[in-house]
Amino acid sequence: MGQHIRLSLDHSYLSLPDKMYQKVKPTPVKSPQWVVFNQRLAKELELDYQSLSSDQGLELLAGNHVLDGIESIAQAYAGHQFGHFTMLGDGRAILLGEQVTSKGERYDIQLKGAGKTPYSRGGDGRATLGPMLREYLVSEAMHGLGAPTNRSLAVVMTGEMVMREEPLPGAILTRVAASHIRVGTFQYIRQYGTTDELRILADYTIARHFPEIQQQPNIYLSMFKEIVKRQAKLIAKWDLLGFVHGVMNTDNMAVSGETIDYGPCAFIDVYDPATVFSSIDQHGRYAYNQQKRVAVWNLARLAESLLPLIEIESDDAIKDLEAILHKFSEVYQDAWSKGMRAKLGLFTQQADDDNLIKELLTLMTTFKADYTDTFRALTLSDFNSQQWFVSNDFKQWYQRWQKRIQCQTQTLDQIKQHMKNHNPSVIPRNFRVEQALSAAVEKQDFKPFNKLLNVLLSPYAYTDEQKVYAELPPVTEQGYRTYCGT
């Protein structure tokens, strides 16, 4: 059946030590059907999207058929989950292989929810429709917003019910990532492997993600420096967008610098730096204003894992690793400040810009302002959406901002376009996401999902179609909580 599909995947991960994965095949499902297929992404990956979106492709992405030559695996890793170390691994995700483009770019193709693996730890290995559609929607929205992220190629329904608190329709997500090598992957091999195996993993990671450093001295220190830099820029981007990952365990931090594992993620509405969305985050460990701190903590765990390799190439390994880790704040602050200036239409940096930004955020906190809408209003000079815009505090700040803008040589049109390029007209508003998911799960009505997805693909376009999706959520949406869906 599947031989009509033209798909040739590489399997470079199999070159790593055997303990880093287990060969496993997806568990077939009852009666798969398409929910969504990402033709745009398929083209970017140079996949044969016509055959992949066929009936044969459906059988492949549902796990009912494994093509000749595909050696599917579940990857092993460990991780600190809410600060506690544990052995993990792909409990419901199965890696089909790696698509290599004509430019030499390598991408993992993974089925999430494809059945039990040796790492399922008593779980059923399945996923439900709502969380898989959430990951598809938010990951593609994040890509549109310019944040490094894994992507979503497809969601298929399995025709089977999955037991959670209640029976829910099952689904499988086809996920695409630069790789699924995590901080927890290094923790796993450090805990359960040898120094030689740790070196093999590090060399593989460098060849795959950081080939430009292969000729540098102290190559493993250089790798750590690149990972720290990418993570600092990623977290700055999250914070600029008002994105809360929700579960920043070390197994959910990809060394590639991409956002992975969209579980209880959400975007803040009311600007409150202490916002927590995840229902299981009782103490705010992964709150919006804690993401930078947690990223540094996670990277410190990576540094510990790399220590045996660094000690070989450095006389004072711990000191060198700490020095690199301290650079995180500098890289983050530079990226965040540049991003915030761009959101305010500032092309250059002046001494008082930090105060201007700080004052705005303080006002937004005081008045419980909507984060995304505030910057959208500044971009469009449309202040009808929020009551706090009529306050004297805002008017005084606005005058200072206007005076600062007028110091620039750019025209007003150039400034407005600069702001449009950095302030999204739309984000995956939590209440819109929930509406779309409820319609899909409860009524098998995918129109709201597809409409929302369509406007989120070009969030900086400021189209008429996006206006309704830019509307503020009902007051009842405050206190919003998300659930991981496992």
Active site residues: 251
Query: Quick one: which of 133, 132, 176 has its CA closest to 152?
Result: 176
Q: How far apart are CA 56 and CA 21, in angstroms?
A: 27
Q: How far apart are CA 310 and CA 20, in angstroms?
A: 21
Beta strands in 241-342 (DSSP E): 243-244, 266-267
Asked whether the beta carbons of 68 and 23 are under 8 A apart, the reply is no
Asked whether the beta carbons of 270 and 174 are under 8 A apart, the reply is no
Q: How far apart are CA 440 and CA 399, in angstroms?
A: 46
All residues at 6 or more sequence positions from 391 whose CB lies less than 8 Å from its CB, including other chains? 367
- Tell me the three state secondary structure of residue 335: helix
Asked whether the beta carbons of 470 and 373 are under 8 A apart, the reply is yes
Lookup result for tokens 């492949």: 60
Instruction: Give the helix/strand (H/E) hosting 177.
Output: strand 167-177
Name the amino acid, one letter, at 294: V
Q: What share of the chain is helix, strand, coil (3-state, %, to 5)?
A: 50, 15, 35
Q: Tell me phi and psi for residue 58, to 5 degrees.
A: -60, -45
CB atoms within 10 A of CB 195: 13
Asked whether the beta carbons of 344 and 242 are under 8 A apart, the reply is no
Phi-psi sector, 106: left (phi>0), alpha (psi -120 to 50), beta: beta
